[in-house]
């Protein structure tokens, strides 16, 4: 475990330093796009964090190839080159999109090619627990399921990339939990060793996201962009898919059915928030007759902002939900009796729910207080907290239709920039 920890720390330090260099170069040579109407930020910022993360990922994979503990991981050279090739395709497509805004069909084509490359070289879903036993599907079914899973996870991660620090934080939590899971899986599922491809990729993703997060924490100085979000999603999907091939079907008895099924459950558990947001977005856009990849301002993190959360609080709320579900899934696998995991999820869910809806209660109290002051005869000179909130948080349409009542000399009378409308 110390080897994986050292690899994580090294990746974090390298990513932090390289992101700083990339940021300085991008600002000096103006390598950043103009601010779009749907962006959260109001001043131009580089979106090249993903390029720095990609370089560190390659460097970490290169360093790991010289560590004897990972000899079995690098035994299949074709599989490792497929990961490098897929990462390269994704970062090229993502960075180009960050600079010139590619159409969704071009981006999807690049994602499909990357996923097919992984599946073709053996990074594929090798088995599924069906009907009480571990059933190995046909090669064609394995490739189809792998492509679907990789593309789904990549887009799910990319869809939540709308607030400072959101993707990096969620990835740290999810991959941290998955790293622990993949490391201890050998005790119950017949793995050949603890140093697996899933553990290696999870450690690297945690490291690069830890190194990038200080640059992206609100107020951020740079973004990972589509290139970084898609890269993180691809590595997370690859890590999860590789675990299914590391379970020996001959070691799975009927009593160990749950451990056999967990390689499929846990990746979805740790990604439940991105996957939920992705599913809702696709369903919403298809009902409206739009492309599932078209932009809008109705993602879960946008709804948190509309409820009254700041960017930091909204990100922390998503972190909390991710941690509760991911850790709960891990506890269900590693702790007995099962009610401990269930109690953790229930109590954590209640706390997260209260924190999520807290701004609504605050706004209701402010509204009632403002109404009582108005009934008492205080009108134009009343500093209404709800009006102040609307002035600070509402988008252009709501501000135009419901202007805040304020004194001419009040700080609220100053013109504020438009409210953001969509992701980075």
* Predicted local distance difference test score (pLDDT) of residue 417: 44
* Predicted local distance difference test score (pLDDT) of residue 34: 66
Q: Of 184, 238, 244, 233, nearest to 208 (Cα)?
A: 233
Exposed/middle/buried for 29, CB within 10 Å: 0-12, 13-18, 19+?
A: exposed
Distance in angstroms (rounded) separating the CA atoms of residues 241 and 154: 13
The DSSP output letter for 128 is: E
The residues of the chain scoring below 70 in pLDDT are 34-42, 127-137, 185-193, 245-268, 270, 291, 293-298, 363-368, 374-375, 377-424
Q: Of 80, 79, 77, nearest to 57 (Cα)?
A: 80
Exposed/middle/buried for 135, CB within 10 Å: 0-12, 13-18, 19+?
A: exposed
Residue position matching structure tokens 């990462």: 87
The DSSP output letter for 412 is: G
Per-residue tokens: 399: 């501000």
Other residues' Cβ atoms within 10 Å of the Cβ of residue 31: 16
* Predicted local distance difference test score (pLDDT) of residue 267: 64
Q: Of 43, 17, 47, nearest to 214 (Cα)?
A: 17
Distance set, CA 110 to CA 36, 43, 241, 320 (Å): 24, 30, 19, 32
Distance in angstroms (rounded) separating the CA atoms of residues 15 and 13: 5
Q: Where are the alpha helices (DSSP H) in 102-165?
A: 104-120, 139-159
* Predicted local distance difference test score (pLDDT) of residue 90: 96
* Helix (H) or strand (E) segment spanning residue 134: strand 133-135
> Contact at 8 Å (CB) between 189 and 256?
yes
* Predicted local distance difference test score (pLDDT) of residue 195: 80
């Amino acid at each position: 475990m110390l080897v994986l920890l050292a690899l994580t720390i090294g990746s974090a330090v390298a990513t932090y330093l390289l992101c700083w260099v990339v940021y300085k170069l991008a600002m000096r040579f103006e390598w950043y796009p103009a601010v779009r109407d749907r962006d959260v930020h109001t001043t131009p910022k580089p979106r090249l964090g993903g390029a720095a993360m990609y370089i560190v990922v390659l460097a970490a994979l290169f360093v790991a190839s010289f560590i004897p503990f990972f000899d079995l991981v690098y035994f299949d050279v074709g599989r490792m080159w497929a990961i490098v090739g897929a990462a390269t395709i994704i970062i090229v497509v993502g960075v180009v999109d960050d600079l010139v805004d590619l159409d969704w069909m071009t981006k999807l084509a690049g994602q499909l090619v990357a996923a097919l490359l992984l599946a073709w070289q053996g990074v594929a879903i090798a088995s599924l627990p069906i009907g009480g036993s571990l059933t190995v599907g046909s090669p064609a079914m394995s490739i189809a399921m792998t492509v679907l899973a990789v593309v789904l996870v990549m887009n799910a991660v990319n869809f939540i990339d709308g607030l400072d620090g959101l993707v990096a934080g969620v990835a740290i939590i999810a991959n941290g939990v998955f790293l622990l899971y993949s490391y201890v899986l050998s005790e119950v599922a017949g793995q050949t060793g603890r140093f697996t491809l899933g553990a290696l990729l999870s450690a690297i993703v945690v490291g690069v996201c830890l190194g990038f997060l200080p640059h992206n924490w609100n107020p951020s100085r740079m973004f990972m962009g589509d290139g970084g979000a898609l890269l993180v999603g691809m590595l997370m999907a690859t890590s999860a898919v590789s675990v299914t091939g590391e379970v020996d079907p001959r070691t799975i008895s009927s009593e160990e059915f749950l451990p056999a099924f967990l390689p499929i459950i846990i990746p979805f558990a740790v990604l439940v928030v991105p996957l939920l947001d992705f599913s809702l977005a696709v369903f919403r856009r298809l009902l409206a007759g739009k492309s599932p990849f078209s932009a809008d301002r109705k993602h879960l993190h946008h709804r948190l902002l509309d409820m009254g959360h700041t960017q930091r609080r909204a990100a922390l709320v998503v972190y909390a939900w991710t941690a509760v579900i991911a850790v709960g899934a891990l506890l269900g696998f590693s702790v007995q009796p099962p009610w401990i995991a269930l109690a953790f999820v229930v109590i954590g869910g209640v706390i997260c729910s209260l924190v999520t809806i807290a701004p609504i209660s605050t706004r209701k109290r402010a509204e009632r207080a403002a109404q009582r002051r108005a009934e008492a005869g205080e009108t134009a000179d009343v500093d209404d907290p709800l009006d102040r909130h609307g002035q600070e948080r509402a988008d252009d349409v709501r501000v135009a239709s419901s202007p805040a009542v304020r004194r001419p000399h009040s700080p609220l009378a100053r013109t504020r920039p438009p409210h953001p409308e969509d992701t980075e």
